[in-house]
A and B are shown apart, each in its own frame.
Chain A
Amino acid sequence: MKTKPPTEEVALLQAQTVVHAEMIHFLRDPINLKFLFFLPPAIFAALWPHIGSSIVPALAATLLGLEPKFNNILFQSPNEGEALHLFPCRWRSVVAAKNSTALALTLLFFLLFGLSIGYFAPSPTGIVEWRFGLLYLLTVVFPLLHFGNLHSIQHPRRHLGWSLGDLAEGCLFMILAGLCSIPFAIFAQTELGTALCLVYGGLGALFWWKVSLPRTVKLLESGSVLEKVEE
């Protein structure tokens, strides 16, 4: 019985396996319930007249809640990094799979948070605001994935939770998200805003695929991430 498929198929199998495991873990790990703690402040923020749109707190709560999915990709559970190193990981597939899961969860929770917060907001969330939110995510997610992948290797955290370290990481991530929002803020002022966001987002995706993934893989293959993670 032939059981060993060719290399490309192995890479695909590994990617599917990682996506499946990441999704199960996200739904099962109680720490991910911290998402719910971000919802009440986001609803209160949506009630503030100067916030502009209920989509803004939905975006902020989504990114803050998913910070570990961007910033700590190798240690979603305490021994994951070491465990993965025992398998013949095609790291490009593994990292791409983890990043894809982060993207999928970002979209999913943006929609869920947007709907939940929109329900309480003084004015209903319109199509324009949803489009605004999706275009914003398109422009920021790929830079965030890039910086998150590098950060995951330079500063891995073995344990995720509510520690001061986690809080600091969350704050830094939101500052980074703010900086990554600058192009969107500029594009939104122009008549060609939508087109510019789409082009910028596409270039971001291309950069992530062609530059960020190979750079992350190279760092991972050097094995230094396991020496950097704190006990």
Chain B
Amino acid sequence: MNAIELDGIEKSYGTGQKVIDGLTLRVPEARLFGFLGINGAGKTTTIRILAGLQPADAGRVRILGADVVPGRIEHLGRIGFVLDEPLYFDWMTPEEYWEFAGGMYGLREGTISVRIKELLEFFDLGDKRDEPISTLSTGMKKKVSLGAALIHRPKLIVLDEPLEGIDALAAIAIKEALMIAAAQGTTVFLTSHVLDTVERLCTDVAILHRGAIVLQCQTSSVRSLTHPTLPSQTFASLEELFVATVSDGGHRDRLRFLEQ
């Protein structure tokens, strides 16, 4: 079964320009899936559509076997979201926010307490438990957001840029948490620009370009794929494959003033 199924998704904004243009994607269950694309490719819009925060203009969205339609909430109890903008209540402390998230996911108080204790220890936030989220660093905020997305043991976690703007220790904690969840059968769907990390972390990747998927493969096969214009050449890394896929064959002008 697929954790996420997108069929012919289209989305335009005010100017009429299509941000998502016939996006079709299958994300198999229990995979760590990297959803890649340059800025403006439509990744965040896709995630907002998955989260039900924006409706698609056309197409079908299925998550964990359920159609995403306005008013349907059952599937949300099996998903955790970490979005790029802070969608938590930043006046709460980490502990309060996790209590809130646990309560909204319908967990009992005893279960919430046990999990909060473990989350505070795992994410090393024990000394920040009583400080408002608004005063925490970006890395800590991402940990808080991820903690809320994990507290109900979801079947699917959707993360938009979870590794951006954070220090190495926070990144390690977040990657570890995602790998633990994935090892338990949770599907992890994330966007990131940190391509070497995605290559090491993810089992599958898809590249979104101009609102549509232009490549989807398993990460293990990246280095055996052949170059589209140079068939005798393979790729040395996911980064190389990504650049070849989205650069439209253009070349960059030289910075002559730096070369003098």
Contact = CB atoms under 8 A, between A and B. Distances in A.
A77 B91 CA distance: 9
A90 B73 CA distance: 8
Contacts of B55: 223
Given A80-B89, A221-B70, A222-B70, A17 B104 contact: yes
Contacts of B76: 86-88
A5 interface: yes
Contacts of B54: 226-227
Contact of A24 (B83, B96, B106): B96
B111 A10 contact: no
B144 to A, nearest CB: 12
B159 to A, nearest CB: 12
Nearest to B77: A88
Interface string B50-94: 011111000000000000001101111100010101111111100
Given A77-B90, A87-B76, 18 more contacts: A3-B107, A13-B107, A13-B108, A14-B104, A17-B99, A17-B103, A21-B100, A79-B89, A82-B53, A83-B87, A83-B88, A88-B74, A88-B76, A88-B104, A89-B104, A90-B73, A223-B52, A226-B53
A13 B88 contact: no
Interface in A186-217: none
Contacts of B90: 77
Closest 9 CB pairs of A and B: A17-B103, A10-B106, A221-B71, A87-B104, A88-B76, A88-B77, A223-B70, A88-B73, A83-B87
B188 interface: no
Interface in A1-36: 1, 3-5, 9-10, 13-14, 16-17, 20-21, 24-25, 28-29
A186 B203 CA distance: 72
B253 to A, nearest CB: 36
A85 interface: yes
A85 B101 CA distance: 12
A36 to B, nearest CB: 19
Interface in B33-65: 51-55
29 contacts: A3-B111, A4-B106, A13-B106, A13-B107, A13-B108, A14-B103, A16-B103, A17-B103, A20-B100, A21-B89, A24-B92, A24-B96, A25-B89, A25-B91, A29-B91, A77-B91, A79-B85, A79-B87, A79-B89, A83-B87, A86-B52, A87-B104, A88-B75, A88-B104, A88-B105, A90-B73, A222-B71, A223-B71, A226-B53
Contacts of B99: 17
Contact of A85 (B52, B77, B106): B52
Interface of B: 51-55, 70-71, 73-77, 81, 83, 85-92, 96, 99-101, 103-108, 111
Contacts of B100: 17, 20-21
Interface residues of A, number: 33
Contacts of A25: 89, 91
A156 to B, nearest CB: 14
Contacts of B74: 88
A84 B104 CA distance: 9
Nearest to A25: B91
B106 A88 contact: yes
Contact of A5 (B75, B91, B106): B106
Nearest to B90: A77
Q: In this complex, which of B52, B70, B103 has the most chain A Cβ atoms within 10 angstroms of its Cβ? A: B103
Contacts of A87: 76, 101, 104-105
Contacts of A5: 106, 108
B92 A21 contact: yes
A28 B89 contact: no
B16 to A, nearest CB: 17
Contact of B89 (A83, A86, A223): A83
Contacts of B52: 85-86, 223
Nearest to A1: B111
A11 B100 CA distance: 14
A5 B152 CA distance: 12
